[in-house]
Amino acid sequence: MFGVIGCGTMGGVILEGMLREKIVPPEGLLIYDKDTGRTEFLRDKWGLKATSDAKVVCREADRILIAVKPQNMDELIEEIRDFLSEQLIISIVAGMQINSLLERAGKPLRVVRIMPNTPCLVGEGMSIISRGKGVSDSEEELVKNIMGALGKVIPLEENLLDAAAGLSGCGPAYCLLVLEALADGGVEVGLNWETASMLAVQTMLGTARMVRETKEHPASLKNKVTSPGGLTSAGLLALEKGAVRSSMIEAVVEAVKRGNQLGS
Ligand SMILES: NC(=O)c1ccc[n+]([C@@H]2O[C@H](COP(=O)([O-])OP(=O)(O)OC[C@H]3O[C@@H](n4cnc5c(N)ncnc54)[C@H](OP(=O)(O)O)[C@@H]3O)[C@@H](O)[C@H]2O)c1
């Protein structure tokens, strides 16, 4: 049985991804959320089993996805500690290191930690997974398949997870800021917002796909579209004057620093 504790935004998306891709059949899922409206909605939509007691999930499931907010973890662990032993724990709780989860549980558990990002909502997520002690290759493979239903997945050592969080975890917000600014630029030179935003979205999407598909370094692709004394060269000069490049680097560095402060 596959259990899910916390069926909010991310828990719900992962759950529905598993069902859509038939990674787990509806009868193989048991869900629990404090918000009973949420579990009832998912139960009725997919024909799943739901419970109003987290301990029932722990008793019946051999793999458990935990998708509650970090501030709810102490309360949850307190409630289920005595019922945790052999199950594989899959945690998407941001900033909670595997050791910290084990300390809270007060016992050795097999844990896989996942760091997803919001584009998982549209099947274009970037998820990082780190496996703790005792997790088998096949269990890691299962988690890769689950997150693979929602985008790309790569395994990384846990000590690099916080670095990845500053990039792919927070990255959607940085990309949105750039996207919005690009569209604002279009408005400034006379386009209406709908047109400007469509141009900005498709330009970012197309550029990202071009990098992914050609596997060329971004600088090399950039040089190909920058002719001497041309429009792009003038635009790039404005970006360099505005220190966009170093601001982006600093954004990742600062996010990682904040993550370390919050985690300690
Ligand atoms: N959203 C993201 O982009 C993102 C990305 C990476 C990681 N994460 C991580 O994913 C986790 C879930 O985030 P989310 O955005 O999905 O949050 P969310 O939408 O608030 O979902 C969490 C759900 O868990 C429920 N809950 C709270 N305490 C519980 C308990 N003790 N037992 C069972 N259910 C409980 C909440 O119910 P109530 O609302 O009634 O409290 C809520 O329905 C967080 O740890 C977050 O850091 C999120």
Q: In terms of domains, do 126 and 94 share one?
A: yes
CA distance 252 to 247: 9
Q: Is the pLDDT of residue 259 over 90?
A: no
Q: Is residue 125 part of a domain?
A: yes
Q: Kindly report, residue by residue over 156-173, the tens digit of the pLDDT.
A: 999 999 899 999 999 999
Domain containing 120 — which CATH number?
3.40.50.720
Does the beta carbon of 120 lie inside 6 Å of ligand 1? no
Which DSSP letter does residue 166 get?
I
Q: In terms of domains, do 135 and 224 share one?
A: no
Does the beta carbon of 262 lie inside 6 Å of ligand 1? no
Domain count, the chain: 2
Q: In this predicted structure, what is the pLDDT of residue 94? A: 87
Q: Is residue 163 part of a domain?
A: no
Burial class (CB in 10 A: 0-12, 13-18, 19+), 79: middle
Q: In terms of domains, do 11 and 114 share one?
A: yes
Q: Is the pLDDT of residue 264 over 80?
A: no
Q: Kindly report, residue by residue over 97-124, the tens digit of the pLDDT.
A: 999 999 999 989 999 999 999 999 999 9
Q: In this predicted structure, what is the pLDDT of residue 162? A: 87
Q: Is residue 164 part of a domain?
A: no
Q: In terms of domains, do 14 and 143 share one?
A: yes
Determine the structural domain holding residue 226 and report its residue range: 169-263
Q: Percent of the chain scored above 90 by pLDDT?
A: 94
Does the beta carbon of 126 lie inside 6 Å of ligand 1? no
Q: In terms of domains, do 11 and 136 share one?
A: yes
